[in-house]
Amino acid sequence: MKQSNSAPRQAYKVWDRTTRIFHWLNVICVLLLIVVGVIILNATMLGVSPEGKVSLKILHVYIGYIFTLNLLWRLVWGFVGGKYSRWKSILPGGKDYIKQSSAYVDGFRKGDAPAYKGHNPLGRIMIAVMLFLLSAQMVTGLVLAGTDLYFPPFGHEFAEWATGAGENHSMLIGLEPGQKEMLDPEGYASMREFRAPFVEIHEIIFYLLMLAIVLHVAAVVITEVRERSGLVSAMFSGIKYLDKKPVD
């Protein structure tokens, strides 16, 4: 018997263009950062020269800047974007969230999960985790760009620290990434000590992010196969197809 909330298969406009562009640009940036980051981590084993490693770090940072601008814009878009791109629709919580989550899990187990135009309750948890990891990786990465290469936004301050220049900015002229001749041993050592936990956090988040990506892709594939709502294609077209009345 057809359920009372069933309806003819219908197309729903869900994801706005900005959200779709963010998603795929983020995918490209994260994949490139992973590839370059893995090479940097294994530079010695791969026979990469010190100069080559510095060049890879510079490339990593440039990609990171694109990633950062894209992520910052998405964080802003959560306040001003389309209905299904706003924080209220993509983060867990809100009225009846626990009830909706329970209903979704129960329906999913029975092969008849409630339909959602936006993210389902479990998907919203994954989005929150992903955004947290991406944001933490962005912050730690920007700090490391400053300590390693003296790149913005914090590089000038770290260069002053490492060289002992203080407000004497003329001492920073000619300082290049990877160069050690102009460094003050004590200042450089204390700067690197400050840097150490950021390196560790950056690497830990890298592995957590890899795990989250695998879980995300698996969840998308499983949901697409079971619900056939055009979940993947919607990130290209912005349109999902549902054969029952959506909860949201």
Q: Does residue 172 surpass a pLDDT of 80?
A: no
Number of domains in the chain: 1
Q: Is residue 49 part of a domain?
A: yes
pLDDT at 143 over 80: yes
Tokens of 36: 């370059």
Rounded Cα distance between 74 and 173, Å, is 36
Task: Give me the pLDDT at residue 167, please.
Answer: 61
Interior/surface letters 144-156, b for 16+ CB within 10 angstroms, e for the rest = bbbbbbbbeeebe
Examine the pLDDT at 165 and tell me if it is beyond 80. Answer: no
Q: CA distances (Å), 48 to each of 40, 44, 148, in order?
A: 9, 6, 17
Q: At 4, is the secondary structure helix, strand, or coil?
A: coil
pLDDT in tens, 180-219: 767 788 988 999 999 999 999 999 999 999 999 999 999 9
Residue 23 lies in a domain: yes
Q: E strand or H helix at 89, and its extent?
A: helix 87-90
Q: Is residue 83 part of a domain?
A: yes
pLDDT at 105: 92
Q: Residue 166 is part of a domain; what is its CATH number?
A: 1.20.950.20
Q: Is residue 102 part of a domain?
A: yes
Q: Quick one: which of 228, 90, 21, 246 has its CA closest to 220?
A: 228
In a domain, 170, yes or no: yes
Residues 218 and 13: their CA atoms lie apart, in Å, by: 24
80 falls within a domain: yes
Residue 115, in any domain of the structure? yes
Question: Rg (Cα) of the chain, in Å, rounded?
Answer: 23
Domain assignment present for 248: no
Quote the domain boundaries for residue 52: 10-241
Residues whose CB falls within 8 Å of the CB of residue 246, separated by 6 or more in sequence, listed in order: 12, 114, 115, 116, 117
Instruction: Using the structure block, give the residue that is written with the tokens 């619900």.
Output: 227
Rounded to whole angstroms, how far apart are CA atoms 146 and 195?
10
